[in-house]
Amino acid sequence: MAQDKPRKEILHQGRFLEMFKLGGWEYVERVGSSGVVVILAVTDENELVLVEQHRVPVGARVIELPAGLAGDLPEARDENFREAARRELLEETGYEAENIEFLCEGPPSAGLTSEIQTLLRATGLRKTGPGGGDESEDITVHAIGLDQLDAWLAAAVERGCLIDPKIYAGLYFLG
């Protein structure tokens, strides 16, 4: 007799996340998006563009690569990842990119979420706006010379910030 496949059970349904149980595993999925874009943005002056914002789940300010959801806007459900990266980069940092290049994709925390993140490189940057995010965000933008990045990140840790490891992973593509 064939064994029945485990059934996906909804444990919680929120506005932005759903929590499921499948077999003995609990995990979350995002509601209303097709994925996440993470942007490795490098200026012509060889500066890495970073964002800093308070993240409620960890109770601290976090230094991150600019990032955001793709396909989360009602008018752009079929938005491609390059366009989502352009939109998020401008919204969060005030930079427009001439070029957006796919680098890689994969799960950021495969034991917690089904989410797949797509890492893209943005070049040919031009500062055209203030950045800072939308009305629900309070983002500080930093453009740090790659030759000063290690010391700058260490100083950010000293002042109490957490550093998203995707920054270090992104540097692999700049090597």
Which pLDDT tens digits describe the chain residue by residue (175 residues)? 567 788 999 999 999 999 999 999 999 999 988 889 999 999 999 999 999 999 999 999 999 999 999 977 667 667 899 999 999 999 999 999 999 999 999 999 999 999 999 999 999 999 999 998 888 888 999 999 999 999 999 999 999 999 999 999 999 999 8
Beta strands in 7-139 (DSSP E): 8-13, 17-22, 25-30, 35-41, 47-55, 60-64, 67-70, 95-106, 117-127
Predicted model pTM:
0.91
**3-state SS class at 15:** coil
Q: Could you tell me if 63 and 119 lie in one domain?
A: yes
| Amino acid at site 43 | T
Q: Which residues touch 76 (CB under 8 Å, ≥6 apart)? A: 83, 84
Question: In terms of domains, do 75 and 134 share one?
Answer: yes
Altogether, the residues listed in the chain come to a count of 175
Pairing between β-strand 67-70 and β-strand 17-22 as defined by DSSP bridges:
unpaired
**22 and 92 belong to one structural domain:** no
Please classify residue 142 by burial: count the beta carbons closer than 10 Å to its beta carbon, then call 0-12 exposed, 13-18 middle and 19+ buried: middle
* Residue 129 sits in the same domain as residue 165: yes
CATH number of the domain to which 38 belongs: 3.90.79.10
In the chain, the number of structural domains is 2
Query: Is the domain of 15 the same as that of 74?
Result: no
What is the domain extent for residue 17?
1-31
CA distance linking residue 65 with residue 57, whole number of Å: 18
- Shared domain check, 38 and 11: no
Between vectors from CA 159 to CA 168 and to CA 142, what angle results, nearest 5°? 55
Nearest to 145 by CA among 3, 60, 17, 48: 48
Instruction: Give the model's pLDDT for residue 34.
Output: 86
Whether residue 84 is found in the same domain as residue 122 = yes
Residues 16 and 64 in one domain: no
Residues 51, 11, single domain; the answer is no
Same domain assignment for residues 39 and 75: yes
